[in-house]
Structure 1
Amino acid sequence: MPDRLSAADLIDLVLDAGSWSSWDEPPAYGEISEAYAADLAKAREKAGTDESVLTGEGLLRGRRVAVLVGEFGFLAGSIGRATADRLVAAIRRATHEGLPLLAAPISGGTRMQEGTPAFVQMVRIAEAVMAHRGAGLPYLVYLRNPTTGGVMASWGSLGHVTVAEPGALVGFLGPRVYQALYGEEFPEDVQTSENLYARGIIDAVVAPEDIPDILDRALRVMRPPADLSAPEPADEAVPDVDTWDAVTRSRDTGRPGVRRLLKYAASDVVPLNGTGQGESDPGLLIALVRFGDVPCVFLGQDRRGQTAAHPLGPGALREARRGMRLASELGLPLLTVIDTAGAALSMDAENGGLAGEIARCLGDLVTLDAPTLSLMLGEGNGGGALALLPADRVVAAQHAWLSPLPPEGASAIVHRDTAHAPEMARAQKVRALDLHAIGVVDRVVAEKPDAAEEPEEFCRRVGAVLAHELAGLLARGPGSPAERAARYAG
């Protein structure tokens, strides 16, 4: 680990020069023991601060933000009653003034000199953070080395976006406590930033010097200017292509997927990771992004992360539901991208509640109190595809399709062979053009003649359509559940 940055060092690194303004009042402790008073005096001298947390405001690349920063030099960053009072007052002020809130905890947890009265402050701090989030205001967290105990279990784990310092000790249990209780050392590779990232608990591992950039990109998406617009692209004619030809083209390994769509057509991409609750599925990509100037929460089925050995699982849908909650809380449009050969058909998927997750995705999407846009980009096979379809508007690539089973599976059921797959695909009206004709799809984006042959141009063309659609949705607001469901009644 590099040398630990003090609270003042981190403030100087992240905020615009000279912009910091403290909100802190002198802490009040009431009647305390002489020994505790002596500990506090030594801590003030050692850390150069009056408590283990500094709060205030500053400018981040010209944007006004509120800040909570831990100071480990003050009694190992521990949280007492006075610290909690300071945190709660600052969070509530940020909420009242409509400011994004940046938190950089570093702490061993509850202050043992105060015991249970300090321990229960986790409740007050969590309530204040959730009220801030409930007001639609961003809460972004940077976990530093170490962040454990009651801090990790309250304001350290409630961020819309949570990243951590490389190599940081991050977790609930203090290793020293574990060793004292059980007589053995806690495994070294569990409570690390890198392990939490691998398990879908945090969004990224980020060096301190890179924090200003990721915060700036996230806030450009989460706090967009008002009255955004995007020009309407020309509505080009889409030639009639045979259904089986479209299905075959959609399976081309050279066809651009969500990663190339983001590379060529999006900006300010902030990848997120996992559910935040211990699951991460490579078959789903979740991010904060902008198409043109228009922001959205992006949920894309990633063909590169879906393999025969690891198809789209229920964890991917739980991750998608995290994105839905983000869009709802932040008032951002939600963009879902369908491109899957199908959800996992396995014992693990059944034990993981796949059917229930499909149902919950459908229910969440159709009732979501945020504008929604769905893009059918390629294959759309089965319930895993349908789970991301309900939306206020639906756009489809020319060779995209949607089917309850792959055509080969439908053929096996009806004809007891796979030779009739092309015939079944035509009969089941799976094509984007067929779905447009019956009102399931609102707009079809032409491929000239195939996205695999013009990946960059195709992605930019799709991006322009998405920007226009998202801008329109932001202006109109979310549709009602009845309106979203009505398109499937015909």
Structure 2
Amino acid sequence: MRRLNAAELIDTVLDAGSFRSWDAPAAAPAADDGGYRRELAAAAGRSGTDESVVTGEGLIRGRRVAVIVSEFTFLAGSIGQAAADRITAAIERATTERLPLLAGPASGGTRMQEGTLAFLGMVKITAAVRRHRQAGLPYLVYLRHPTTGGVMASWGSLGHVTVAEPGALLGFLGPRVFEALNGRPFPENVQVAENLFDKGLVDAVVPPEQLSEILDRALAILLPEPAGPVPAPETTAAAPASDEAWASIEISRNPRRPDLRYLLAAADDALPLNGTGQGENDPGLLLALARFGSQSCIVLGHHRPRHPDAPAMGPGSLREARRGMRLAEELGLPLLTVIDTPGADLSKEAEEAGLAGEIARSLQDLIGLGSPSVSVLLGQGSGGGALALLPADRTIAAQHAWLSPLPPEGASAILYRTTEHAPSIAAAQGVNVASLHRIGLVDHIVDERPDAAAEPKDFCRRMARAIEYELSEAAAQPATARLEQRWEKFARLGT
């Protein structure tokens, strides 16, 4: 595909005629090096820009945004001191004016002609990005072909949401440098956008002409309009009696039961994110930006396997979940967790990758989360894998959901060395919604008529309305009171 230069990308992504430059004339290099000055002049002539980056502001579907876009034809988009100053100034202005920021890097990295000072410029750019994110402002990155070196290792890898150009070469070490240093070519198809997506390093691979739509949807969720109170949804049916616990467990195991994918389809909008951003893409968890009615949120939840032999939720899933928790806190958005799992991965690999520690860290982050939070018991809720996503300000439960330290068959095997007592143990342990509501864990029950698998769309619409209401209720509480009430809720369960 033909690669767009900076001006073409700006024209493609921003509303027509809306771009306004923020660039002051680029400073001349401090060293009086005639050869380097001639290189800069030639680069300006070829590219039509005075430096390797263009900054400014414009509109995306009518929404004001700041932009920083690399011009690769200017010395391979390399970043010298003047370019670093320009990028830093643009980030700081976006922060001051409280604008979301879109970065579109395409760069070979640090400018070799300026040596270590140019290299150190990545630190001040990173500091500016950190302040922008700490201000609760979205930082969105579109990685273009090619992005390598210090740019990829700083402002190219810090996005709240990161998408990439199809086929883009993306990585730390440029392949030409690798070959020169090692005498052999770098392995093929490693440093390409699609492979980075598969490894959970970018959220999507999107051509430039589709970028404005994706950014508009993301910003509508990340920067929601102020919303008023949400009316309470319709009265739900009574929770099942405690002697129906085993019936609920069997209903929850129906492979046709609607899962998180169905629930997100009932949202007003949802944009999936992908992986931990650190080289892991565990299939056991789904992470997304979503909007239920007037309420935006970060969603993370169990991704129910489509096949019995599919991998269970492993430690990588919980590291991805904790990415979602950090996004919610940094952007000041509510967090929605969805629990629907027969249990976490019980394997040698999961143990060696620190599953128990990831469950503990997930619990610690959720119980102290600064953002409003709502958890949903959607179906099965077995073991530490379920507990890891549970703590929240408010908890909604589907009528036939349940929560247990182990599958009841496992508890029966421990107590009686047989699974035959699973139904009676389920009733005795109080795993179902009636018991969970009685002890104070479940605040809101969404009825099934009589089974969500028989009415998936209608059930998910009812659940979506309940989520909108409970997100609104949680967000209405003052932050300090909300955190104290969350701690108190779990301290007093059953009393």
Q: Is the 8 A contact 2:286 2:301 kept in 1?
A: yes
Report the CA distance between 1:475 and its aligned residue: 2.2
Task: Provide the C-alpha distance between the structure 1 equivalents of 2:169 and 2:258, rounded to a whole number of angstroms.
Answer: 39
Task: Provide the C-alpha distance between the structure 2 equivalents of 1:472 and 1:59, rounded to a whole number of angstroms.
Answer: 33
Task: Report the equivalent of 1:102.
Answer: 102
Given the two structures, how large is their TM-score scaled by the length of structure 2? 0.97
Q: Is the 8 A contact 1:228 1:294 kept in 2?
A: no
Q: Is the 8 A contact 1:103 1:140 kept in 2?
A: yes
Q: Is the 8 A contact 2:19 2:58 kept in 1?
A: yes
- Shift of the 116–196 alpha-carbon distance from structure 1 to 2, 3 Å rule, reads same
Task: Provide the C-alpha distance between the structure 1 equivalents of 2:383 and 2:175, rounded to a whole number of angstroms.
Answer: 46
Does 1:393 pair with 2:394? yes
Does 1:216 pair with 2:216? yes
Task: Provide the C-alpha distance between the structure 2 equivalents of 1:139 and 1:203, rounded to a whole number of angstroms.
Answer: 14
Task: Provide the C-alpha distance between the structure 1 equivalents of 2:133 and 2:229, rounded to a whole number of angstroms.
Answer: 26
Q: Is the 8 A contact 1:306 1:312 kept in 2?
A: no
Task: Provide the C-alpha distance between the structure 1 equivalents of 2:307 and 2:332, rounded to a whole number of angstroms.
Answer: 30
Report the CA distance between 1:283 and its aligned residue: 1.2
What CA RMSD, in Å, does the superposition of the two structures yield over aligned residues?
Answer: 1.1
Task: Provide the C-alpha distance between the structure 2 equivalents of 1:335 and 1:307, rounded to a whole number of angstroms.
Answer: 26
- What secondary structure is seen at the aligned counterpart in 2 of 1:172? coil
What one-letter code is carried by the residue in structure 2 that aligns with 1:123? V
Name the stretch that deviates more: 412-421 or 476-485: 476-485
Report the CA distance between 1:306 and its aligned residue: 7.5
Q: Is the 8 A contact 1:289 1:296 kept in 2?
A: yes
Task: Report the equivalent of 2:159.
Answer: 159
Task: Report the equivalent of 2:8.
Answer: 9
Q: Is the 8 A contact 2:408 2:425 kept in 1?
A: yes
Q: Is the 8 A contact 2:474 2:482 kept in 1?
A: no
Task: Provide the C-alpha distance between the structure 1 equivalents of 2:55 and 2:373, rounded to a whole number of angstroms.
Answer: 36
* Residue 256 of structure 1, aligned match among 234, 255, 258: 258
Task: Provide the C-alpha distance between the structure 2 equivalents of 1:152 and 1:487, rounded to a whole number of angstroms.
Answer: 44
- What secondary structure is seen at the aligned counterpart in 2 of 1:360? helix
Task: Provide the C-alpha distance between the structure 2 equivalents of 1:307 and 1:208, rounded to a whole number of angstroms.
Answer: 39
Q: Is the 8 A contact 1:284 1:305 kept in 2?
A: no
- Shift of the 285–477 alpha-carbon distance from structure 1 to 2, 3 Å rule, reads farther
Correspondences of 1:99-138 after superposition (within 5 Å): 99-138=99-138
Task: Report the equivalent of 1:276.
Answer: 277
Does 1:485 pair with 2:487? yes
Report the CA distance between 1:239 and its aligned residue: 5.1
Identity %: 62
Task: Report the equivalent of 2:234.
Answer: 234
Task: Provide the C-alpha distance between the structure 1 equivalents of 2:67 and 2:368, rounded to a whole number of angstroms.
Answer: 34
Task: Report the equivalent of 1:421.
Answer: 422
Correspondences of 1:73-92 after superposition (within 5 Å): 73-92=73-92
- What secondary structure is seen at the aligned counterpart in 1 of 2:318? helix
Task: Provide the C-alpha distance between the structure 1 equivalents of 2:455 and 2:312, rounded to a whole number of angstroms.
Answer: 27
What one-letter code is carried by the residue in structure 2 that aligns with 1:262? L
Question: Structure 1: which 5+ runs fail to align?
Answer: none
Task: Report the equivalent of 2:25.
Answer: 26
Correspondences of 1:364-443 after superposition (within 5 Å): 364-443=365-444
Task: Report the equivalent of 2:357.
Answer: 356
**Superimposed CA distance per residue, residues 112-159 of structure 1 (whole angstroms, 9 cap, x where no aligned partner):** 111111011010000000000000000000000000000000100000
**Superimposed CA distance per residue, residues 245-300 of structure 1 (whole angstroms, 9 cap, x where no aligned partner):** 0000000000000001111x212211100100011111110000000121000001
Q: Is the 8 A contact 1:222 1:332 kept in 2?
A: yes
Task: Provide the C-alpha distance between the structure 2 equivalents of 1:136 and 1:239, rounded to a whole number of angstroms.
Answer: 40
Task: Report the equivalent of 2:295.
Answer: 294
Q: Is the 8 A contact 1:296 1:332 kept in 2?
A: yes
Given the two structures, how large is their TM-score scaled by the length of structure 1? 0.98
Tell me the matched-pair count.
Answer: 488
Report the CA distance between 1:63 and its aligned residue: 0.6
Task: Provide the C-alpha distance between the structure 1 equivalents of 2:75 and 2:254, rounded to a whole number of angstroms.
Answer: 59
Report the CA distance between 1:4 and its aligned residue: 1.2
